[in-house]
Structure 1
Amino acid sequence: MSPKRDEFKFESANESILGKDWFPIYSTHKDVKFGKNHFEIAMMNVIKEPNINSSAILRADILQEVTCDSNANRTVKKCEVKDSELADPEAKKLGVNDFEARYPSINPTLKLYAATEIVRRIIPRNPYKDAIMNQTCLILNSAEQDSTSLVIYVPHIQEEDDCPFYIPHVKAVGIFLHQGSLSVHYIPFKNAELFQDESDRVVRTAWRLLQTAHKHSMGVMQGYQKRVRHDLVVDKVDFQNRYIALKKKYSKLLVDNWKESTDPKKHVFEDIAIAAFLIALWTKIYGHNYKEKTQFRDLGCGNGVLCYILLTEGIKGIGIDARRRKSWSSFPAEVQACLKEQIIIPSVLVRPHPEVKKRLPQLEHNGGLFPVKVAHELIAPATVVYTSEDLLSSPQVNVTEFPRNTFIIGNHSDELTCWIPLLGYPFMVIPCCSHNFSGQRVRFNVRKSTTELNSTKGNSTYAGLVDHVLYIADRVGWKVEQEMLRIPSTRNAAVIGYENAHVGSFPTQEVYDMIMEDGGPNGWIQNSMALMKKSPRNH
């Protein structure tokens, strides 16, 4: 639980215990319950994840880490960092070539020594607006008091005017745990009078820093475990660097030319993030020449933004949806040619069973009959019967028979979600709305056998759907991975499969068994054909 404002006292009229250069801002009224170890674990996590303190920060890259004992024995760890942002001449930068740790003066009577010395590079979400900056982070311990710990942040800048928006405009910040009290102190650049007014941004920031340090230290003490784990499938830095580059290239153009009634920023930034993730994933699977080795099919492609980005990046592929969207007409002709208005009927529903095909190799369809009710303005409603042969030959139907090097994307693909692992191609599906194999809305319960794969806790409808997709994929032989995507959506669980010993042999008997286990596909074709007449959903 976060501490309330009245649990901290405003200290601006007092002198700082840290020394004459420092000014105290806030401290706790009462002794804190957590110890030095809890505090340092929490603060090390904040050092490595600075976005906890500011939503304007994307991440921190650790450039160098030094540990030191009380006898001044130093262990230096250099860290490899990808500098793709720094190569961009348009990105703002501050002190990025300054790797020397900075040490502010500290009251010598405290007898503190630097147990940990880190130089990190802060990467803002928008490096074209806020500067990339190097910063020293210190964790100081006392040679005499085991319960004392001081965390210091020093930006590698010279003037207050250089300070980026996302840090307090001071020369140094200190968060001090000493004699049971937790407090925040500043070293100003020039004018300490700014620290007198609690309404000033720099003072309010001190309160938030103290609140975060207190809350996270209590969380460590109470054994808090992070509910959602990100970056399990692809490297975070690789993904985020690609996201920054794609956002710069596409976001303004797409937002300014938005044709749909939905919020453009949510959808555009979400699809940019998914595109960045997919490119990082394909690079991991197929190598840097992935464009030569794979192509995509985006099933239920909706507004087509994800397809537009991937196609413009030179990746071959096709987007398919039951209904054309307004956005499609805004894309270049070569992109529009890759967006298909078709209903999707998996081939398993219209092709003969593999065992039948072995005995009758000339048989191309399963002889299925599918009655569909149609309405007419002048005559009474009627029933039209389609055959599997009709559907296989229809240009308005896609039976999911793609080149072997196809990778399937299911981005909030609704009725198609559970089908995608059964189609026999590597895939990434981001579940959204819960439907069974007939296209009907259902609620799946979370299975105990797959909870270790599932980071969507609880037994909500969404948790049940994600769990069920994991189960389906595992059941038909996929080596399944799961990622909680960094996208502006609460439905951000991605289920990924790209290794399966039976690829090339689909549909296997397990596919047929899985479909029947879930109640069968009766009504899928009729429901799919009805989608062509309905207004599209907005996610």
Structure 2
Amino acid sequence: MAQAQRPKFTPEIATIEAQPTQWVPMIRCPADFPLEIFELAILQLVHHPEYNSTLILRSEVLSERTNGFPASTPVLDGSEPAKCIHRKLLPRRPGRDAPLEQHCTFYASEGDAIDNLILTPTVPPGGSLPYYHPAVHHIRFRYLASSSNSADEPIPTTGTLQIEVDPLPGTPNDPNSRLYRTCLALLETVHRYGWGVMGNYKKRVIHDCVVPREPYQDLYLVMRERHKHLVDTWQEVTDPYKHVFEDIGIATFLVLLWKDTYKTSSPILESGDVEEFWKTWPRPPGGFIDFGCGNGLLTHILAAEGYAGVGIDVRARTSWSHYPASTQSSLKVHAFDPLSLEADSEIFKPGSFIIGNHADELTPWVPVVSRLTKASGYISIPCCAWVFDRKFDRARDKPFPYTEEKEGSFVAGLNLGGEGSNASSYSMYRIWLASVSQWCGWTNECEVLRIPSTRNWAVIGRKNLVTEGGAEEEWVERAREIIEEVRARGEFKPRKPEGKAGEH
């Protein structure tokens, strides 16, 4: 049976009570879910403030208590404090906005049901609220139960959601004010979360499967400050903001991935600069290979941060000559030919980590070449759908046999997102690509990267597949068979280098 659609969000200005109180009603709407779901909905709001403000990076829980509440906790008629989460809001731009601590107090009425949440910022003496926080002493979320509902209603409209505030003196709260717009956005979020909980909503994609969110975000802020100047010196005709911040995000992910991957096998490099702490972290023993590096930006960022490797492409880009000499020496004009890998032994060193970042026709070769060259791992971020010697055809190109799992569990583990039908051509291509990886003996790890691109799904191979009869010799033979089949078809045409390779 199809899941019912979420009821339309119908907010209205809340009525101000005749008797003045501490609380100013701002906005309300039908809850469309029962009281017992309210706590789950507002918990999501507490733990993920970044979904409501692009200026907030995330929140960190400092403590949680069920008694001994702070002196700033408001007193409510008919409800008692039940729990308080002390959190810190971290800004996305710490150079401009300050972090802010906040007490999130949950109140329960009769029957121990949570029916109120109050957010209370804690500002140090002489301090002020950052821009991303409304100018209020408190924000109050209320669930007002209704007694007029029938028990057999198919979609229970069992109450009203209402937001009230205790504003700072002189703060405008009319429908055109910033405070009202903020309350409107918060109310819509709680309404959406509540309906999602009731309908067993599943996220379209799951982030942070391989690299945890907090260390990624923290390091990304550092890397962004170190490399954002590249926007102003961009030499290509493409959008600098998209490409610069996208590759900063990918580089950040790789640095943390390598730290985890090589922690037990590679020596930690020495560095006297504690501010550049990542330069002490492990890295691929054979360096990295940026496969089809294009403008060379990702290679440049990694090289600038002390990571050895090369970026190869069939032609040099305008950007290459504008990078420092240390980066230029890492960029190579090279036409990759998988049918003669022996000739590329100087580039594909054992222990290398291969990067396929929107590598187009090179994408399907990444797991194959990684196996044949004894790479220590790879990452592939596919964009255009290619198989080994032509464009992907969803009717013709069926996935390779799965070496360990049945089809259902194999696909479910790929974190493809969407509604689960996997009927789109891009989803089918990613299934095919992951099947190639597993056929060559790699354990698939899939991540939806936090980068400004709709093509942000990545498949990672850094561990050998664990099977009863599998062995590396078998996986190498499978990779060789793929090359022989491509050679027999005679359709693969390696591209020729454009320009003089010796110039870069």
Could you state the TM-score of these two structures normalised by the residue count of structure 2? 0.81
Q: Secondary structure at the match of 2:193?
A: helix
Contact 2:259 2:283 in 1 (8 A): no
The 1:400/1:58 distance shift into structure 2, 3 A limit, reads farther
The 1:137/1:514 distance shift into structure 2, 3 A limit, reads farther
Contact 1:301 1:320 in 2 (8 A): yes
Superposed CA deviations along residues 411-464 of structure 1, whole A, max 9, x for unmatched, are 011111111001122101101111111143433567646312222242212212
Q: Distance in 1 between matches of 2:80 and 2:14?
A: 22
Which of 240, 244, 247 is equivalent to 1:264? 240
Structure 1 partner of 2:154: none
The 1:445/1:135 distance shift into structure 2, 3 A limit, reads farther
Which of 206, 209, 221 is equivalent to 1:229? 206
Contact 2:58 2:90 in 1 (8 A): yes
The 1:519/1:226 distance shift into structure 2, 3 A limit, reads farther
Structure 1 partner of 2:413: 453
Structure 1 residue 49: Cα displacement: 1.2
Structure 1 residue 232: Cα displacement: 0.7
Determine whether 1:511 maps to 2:479: yes
The 1:48/1:518 distance shift into structure 2, 3 A limit, reads farther
Structure 1 residue 293: Cα displacement: 3.4
The 1:152/1:294 distance shift into structure 2, 3 A limit, reads farther
Q: Distance in 1 between matches of 2:134 and 2:167?
A: 10
Could you state the TM-score of these two structures normalised by the residue count of structure 1? 0.76
Determine whether 1:172 maps to 2:123: no
Unaligned ranges ≥5, structure 1: 75-99, 352-364, 366-391, 393-397, 534-539
Structure 2 partner of 1:103: 72
The 1:344/1:278 distance shift into structure 2, 3 A limit, reads same
Superposed CA deviations along residues 17-51 of structure 1, whole A, max 9, x for unmatched, are xx9221110112x4x33123322112112211111
Structure 2 partner of 1:430: 381
Q: Distance in 2 between matches of 1:65 and 1:521?
A: 64
Q: Distance in 2 between matches of 1:506 and 1:260?
A: 44
Structure 1 residue 159: Cα displacement: 8.4
Contact 1:160 1:169 in 2 (8 A): no
Segment of structure 1 superposing worse, 409-418 or 514-523: 514-523
Structure 1 residue 223: Cα displacement: 1.0
Which of 155, 165, 168 is equivalent to 1:189? 168
Structure 2 partner of 1:137: 104
Identical-pair percentage: 34
Q: Secondary structure at the match of 1:64?
A: strand
The 1:286/1:184 distance shift into structure 2, 3 A limit, reads same
The 1:506/1:301 distance shift into structure 2, 3 A limit, reads farther
Superposed CA deviations along residues 453-507 of structure 1, whole A, max 9, x for unmatched, are 2222422122122211211111111111000001111111110011127998597
The 1:132/1:148 distance shift into structure 2, 3 A limit, reads closer
Determine whether 1:51 maps to 2:50: yes
Segment of structure 1 superposing worse, 258-267 or 152-161: 152-161
Structure 1 residue 218: Cα displacement: 0.9
1:204-223 to 2 correspondences below 5 Å: 204-223=181-200
Structure 2 partner of 1:499: 463
Which of 61, 86, 97 is equivalent to 1:119? 86
The 1:285/1:102 distance shift into structure 2, 3 A limit, reads farther
Structure 2 partner of 1:470: 434
State the AA in 2 paired with 1:56: L
Superposed CA deviations along residues 290-335 of structure 1, whole A, max 9, x for unmatched, are 1473510000111111111100000000000112111111100110
Q: Secondary structure at the match of 1:123?
A: strand
Structure 2 partner of 1:27: 28
Segment of structure 1 superposing worse, 292-301 or 262-271: 292-301
Unaligned ranges ≥5, structure 2: 146-158, 269-280, 400-406, 500-504
The 1:516/1:124 distance shift into structure 2, 3 A limit, reads farther
Structure 1 residue 12: Cα displacement: 5.7
Contact 1:12 1:23 in 2 (8 A): no
Which of 478, 481, 489 is equivalent to 2:453? 489
The 1:148/1:280 distance shift into structure 2, 3 A limit, reads closer
Greater gyration radius: 1
Contact 1:3 1:214 in 2 (8 A): no
CA RMSD of aligned residues (A): 2.7
